[in-house]
Chains A and B, each alone.
Chain A
Amino acid sequence: MESVTTPPTTELRKTPLNALHRRLGAKMVNFGGWDMPVEYPGSGGLIAEHKAVRSSVGVFDVSHMGDIRVHSAGNTGSALAAVQHITMNDASKLALGQAQYSAMLYPEGTFVDDVIVHRLGQDDFLLVINAGTREKDVDWVKQNTKSFDCVVENLSDEDTQLAIQGPHAQDVLQKLTDAKLSLLKNYWFTHGTVCGLKNILIARTGYTGEDGFEIYVPSDAATSEMVWNRVMEAGKEFGIIPCGLGARNTLRLEAKMALYGHEISETINVWEAGLERYCKMDKGDFIGRRALERAKTAPRTRTLVGLEMCERGIGRDGYCCCNEAGEQIGVITSGSPSPTLGKNIALAYVPPAMAALGTPVYVQIRAQKCRAQVVATPFYKRSKKTAAGHTATNI
């Protein structure tokens, strides 16, 4: 749920916490047109941040993510119909307070963006979208819901979104809210008082493969900084540290969560990306459905697999994959060292014939072809929750 498509603007956008990140000495980068912290050398840097989330807790500013609300006046059901039309998962299955991973598709069955759909009310939905695709997504939603009697609102600039992630995320956030977090299941949300602020959306969601929460607080800098500081204070006993987009990327890669512009894009369809779990072909018509119906029976040319490097070398985004004969057969969509596994891992599109576990794949790293092999994904899966509702950690 993250995009790296850089819009053609020169003026970088800033989240309400930008000044705070700079005061913390964060290394800032242009991420999809946003001036964002990639890592905080003061808290130990990317690897330390990654490990903090896997073993304890970390906090991320993800205010660059966008939010679109789709609702109807008077519970007519037209907002639900609109959401069903523009997304591939079945939003009718959502209870109030529940969220689902989904995607908006082009008529070709390829991706406009991936989204998390939250059901705020009977006919009231919140779509959380990627930063770099904000304008495109808002236009897309507006254009394609015109025939439905519903209201589409772009709320992207109205809140600061913080992600508190890790096995101790609940311990930290519970100190700051009256909401009973232990009752909140994965991919459910509630509203509660957080740091004295009323009616704050608290969702048990994230992009790290770890337990955690995303909270949405008012976007003025003073409030945003107050909440950030209170979270840091509450997390002190657990060794909480601020985490940047660098760790966010390595965490989501280990968990095999798709990144827009990498594993999913306007040229990759749902079947190729392996996201059929979230695509409900029997829910009724939706944009992209017909093309997907056809693609389902057509021979597939590529499929997403996990790779592990067997030789020294790091396969990175965009590097070519070859077979033993040296012919190019695919490309890496995301690749990086895995701080949890201590190995170099990657996601790549390869022909289905080369997708079997253990298949050797050669990654072109500058002048060399380095051997890798297809491995099971996700690369990392957190252990199941214990009876106490806490999440044990794998490392």
Chain B
Amino acid sequence: MAYPTNYRYTKDHEWVNVAGDVATVGITDYAQHELGDVVFVELPVPGVKVAAGKTFGSVESVKAVSDLYAPISGEVTKSNGDLQNAPQRINEDPHGEGWLVKVQMSNPAEVNGLMDAAAYEAFIATQSKEASA
């Protein structure tokens, strides 16, 4: 799956899509693939403040629980309610319908510290090598 070039990415395999000072956050195709079938998502409700690098929720596959790390700081304005009944959206469309939360950024400059698509793809290539070594 292609990584949208207008998104930014973290080493924890989250993506952000910035429009003005609102960032939509999700997990990457690589992350959903590593997790396997997603069966449960725990997300913050609107109004909750998240901080870059800190956990803001969790996503669970049949096998395991993974923490979600906020790529940027700010206040949650919306969380993806569809995921409650259809968590598999994260597997089916991780960069689109499977988005997690929208965040009103408190420090939009944080985005500049994130990877672009090319850098992220290079990063996951090294991860895969380590995994199969």
**Which A residues contact B (CB, under 8 angstroms)?**
22, 27, 38-39, 41, 45-47, 246, 250, 312-314, 316, 336-337, 339, 366
Contact = CB atoms under 8 A, between A and B. Distances in A.
B63 A366 contact: no
Contacts of A45: 36-37
Nearest to B60: A314
Nearest to B88: A47
A316 B62 contact: no
Nearest to A368: B42
B54 interface: no
A292 to B, nearest CB: 35
3 cross-chain pairs, A with B, having the tightest CB-CB distances, nearest first? A47-B37, A337-B39, A46-B62
Contacts of A313: 40
Nearest to B64: A316
Interface residues of B, number: 14
Contacts, number: 36
Contacts of A46: 36-37, 61-63
Interface in B46-68: 58, 60-63, 65
A47 B40 contact: no
A27 B62 contact: no
A313 B60 CA distance: 10
Contacts of A38: 63
B11 interface: no
Interface of B: 33-34, 36-37, 39-40, 58, 60-63, 65, 84, 132
A366 B58 contact: yes
B73 to A, nearest CB: 21
A45 B63 CA distance: 11
A39 B60 CA distance: 16
B114 to A, nearest CB: 27
Given A38-B63, A46-B62, A314-B60, 16 more contacts: A27-B34, A39-B36, A39-B63, A41-B33, A45-B36, A45-B37, A46-B37, A47-B37, A246-B63, A250-B62, A312-B40, A314-B40, A336-B62, A336-B63, A337-B39, A337-B62
A27 B58 contact: no
B77 to A, nearest CB: 23
Contacts of B65: 314, 316
5 contacts: A38-B63, A41-B33, A45-B37, A312-B84, A314-B40
A45 B132 CA distance: 19
B74 to A, nearest CB: 22
A339 B33 contact: no
B40 A41 contact: no
A170 B43 CA distance: 45
A60 B118 CA distance: 38
Contacts of B37: 45-47
